[in-house]
Amino acid sequence: MAKLSVDQLDLSGRRVFLRVDFNVPLDGGRVSDDTRIAAAVPTIEHCLKAGGAVVVASHLGRPKGAPDSRYSLAPTAARLAELLGQPVPLVPDCVGAEVEQRARELRPGEALMLENLRFHAEEEANDPDFARRLAGLADVYVDDAFAAAHRAHASIEAITRYLRPAVAGLLMARELAALGRIFAGAERPVWAILGGAKVSDKLGLVESLLPRVDGLLIGGGMAFTFLASLGHDVGRSLVERDRVDEARTVLERARSRGVPLRLPVDVVVSAGVDDLAHLRTVSVREIPSDLMGLDIGPATVAQFAQSLKGARTVGWNGPLGVFERDAFAAGTLGVARAVAECGAFSVVGGGDTIAAVHRAGVAPRVGYISTAGGAFLEYLEGRELPGVAALDEA
């Protein structure tokens, strides 16, 4: 169901509790990648220009339910202020008498940021009393944190029991619209690309995709469990032995459905990520017993690109090799270029995958780049996301 969006509300004179995901990397007390902060700016600017006052709330890292200066949101508040061109003071907590007073004193067009929600264990526990205290800070709830929408936490799910309307921010609305285009009325053929290290993280996703896609491309470390299930000797490559039978079953289901499921035909191997002396490209039938596959090879890139040529919709999550090392990045970069060149509407999610399309120089030619990782995967798997389910229907 479509969700009510913040641009459908009258915000004049109202305080907005805006849940964002500013769980961003820090370096020396400064934000080193402000992508998620910048992505929330349009929603904040909309609320301020509409005459609202904004209480910005987020988590950062895993502070284990207690204040920890290493996880203070001060750097994100400073960066947000720079992007907005106006002050965004950080209050010392997210609940309590001082926070309530500071929120009450906000005037239309002003914003403040709460300190890290996870400084309270009640946040991750989805505690109703904590959620009620958060709800008391505002008149309207807006969720722009799609990247955290798979978490049933107090500021995401429980708060909506006490604060209505509860609506999607502009970023959340864009995410839902883009991901919806992958399946709901998607232009066919639909292809999915999956990578990453562990097959256990994505077997459920592969199974759920089979009835909904016209083809699957699988690379990365997870591909070796599938290759092992076909009887290939994959040397020292990453294989989850307890998942081999499940992988074989998935391949059989794809075959019975007539859904092409392409695996690598060649790989780049070496003794490890730091070993370049033994680096070479071999067929998946010829992986030496003492080496491991660390990237898909050029024949696989060409085969994957050929498969995508007829696609009209593409979803991609997960690198196809040890992308962070230059020696093993060519496969992921090659597929990034193939996605951009195939002419399909494409949606890309996950940190490494997003980095790949930027590094390949094709980000402007990708249909939509999601800010989410885990939520992106759970959405593709067909799971209900608590942060989405809690919002008002349009």
Catalytic positions, written as ranges: 36, 198, 351, 374
**Which has the closest alpha carbon to 321: 342, 338, 336?**
336
In Å, how far are 8, 173, 185, 191 from 394, measured between CA atoms? 9, 11, 19, 30
Both structure tokens of 213: 């896609």
Q: How far apart are alpha carbons 202 and 232 in whole angstroms? A: 21
Query: For residue 40, what is the enclosing H or E element?
Result: helix 35-49
Q: How far apart are alpha carbons 173 and 239 in whole angstroms? A: 38
Residue that the structure tokens 């249909």 belong to: 367
Residue that the structure tokens 């060519």 belong to: 330
Q: Which residues of 306-329 are buried (b: 16+ CB within 10 A; e: fewer)?
A: ebbeebebbbbbbbbbbbeeebbb
